[in-house]
Structure 1
Amino acid sequence: MTSQLDFVTIHKKPNVYFQGRSISYLIECKDGSKKTLGVLLPTEKPLTFETHVNELIEIISGSCEVRIGDDEETYVYSVGDSFSVPENSRFSMYSTDVVDYICHLG
């Protein structure tokens, strides 16, 4: 699990989705990699996100249910867990907790 990010540029304008239920900030690292650092607020129903690049999502706090692509099964991820989503796909997240995460792009 990533505990610290050194030598980064943080974009000040947040990415706000689903009327503020999901908010993230883009971070560019010195090595050229990009990540988002975000929060998912409790939801009444799953929120569906689309990907344009491969994404690896680390759960930093909280717990959530995730469905990736057309998979019928839902998986539960908690602190310390991560999951991958392929490029040009989608995933849905649902939680009754606040969930903090880091999304590694590409």
Structure 2
Amino acid sequence: MEFKNVTVVKKANIYFDGKVVSYTVKFEDGTTKTLGCMQVGDYTFNTGAAEVMEFLSGELSVELPNQKEPLIIHSQATFEVPANSSFTLHVKSIADYCCSYAK
């Protein structure tokens, strides 16, 4: 996938002592995405807006709100996270992702 006519914020978003790094991409219609990479580890994120997480590579399990069983990802997968919630990722191999935010 390729994005055209976007603005990329040069300053990185750095989380968990540099183990999760992303860059913000802004679109002409006002929407925002982040493109990033996660090293092996366990990470809990809190959401303000609803998110759509698309993993492009990696092996991980995801604990989502209101789900009894974790989502197991081997390479590519997409899932939604509701606004004002949290989710936990257990990354077993380096994973890269695209996160889309609700307006």
For residue 58 of structure 1, the aligned residue among 54, 58, 64 is 54
1:87 aligns with 2:70: no
CA distance in 2, matches of 1:76, 1:30: 34
The CA deviation string for residues 14-53 of structure 1, in whole angstroms up to 9 with x for no partner, is: 111111111111110112110000111011xx21000000
- C-alpha deviations, 1:71-104, integer Å up to 9, x for none? 4421112333101000000011111211000000
Q: Which residue of 1 aligns with 2:73?
A: 77
Bigger fraction of residues in strand: 2
What residue ranges of structure 2 are gaps of 5+ in the alignment? none
Quick check: 1:97 aligned with 2:58?
A: no
Report the TM-score when normalising by structure 2: 0.92
Q: How does 1:23-38 map to 2 (within 5 A)?
A: 23-38=21-36
Q: Identity over the aligned pairs, expressed in percent?
A: 33
Name the SS of the counterpart of 2:26 in structure 1.
strand
Partner of 2:20: 22
Size of the aligned set, in residue pairs, is 102
Residue in 2 aligned with 1:41? 39
Distance 1:22 1:70 in 2: 25
Residue 12 (structure 1) aligned with residue 22 (structure 2): no
Let me know the Cα RMSD of the aligned residues. Answer: 1.2
Consecutive unaligned residues of structure 1, counting only runs of 5 or more, are none
- Rounded to whole Å, the distance in 1 between the matches of 2:51 and 2:14 is 18
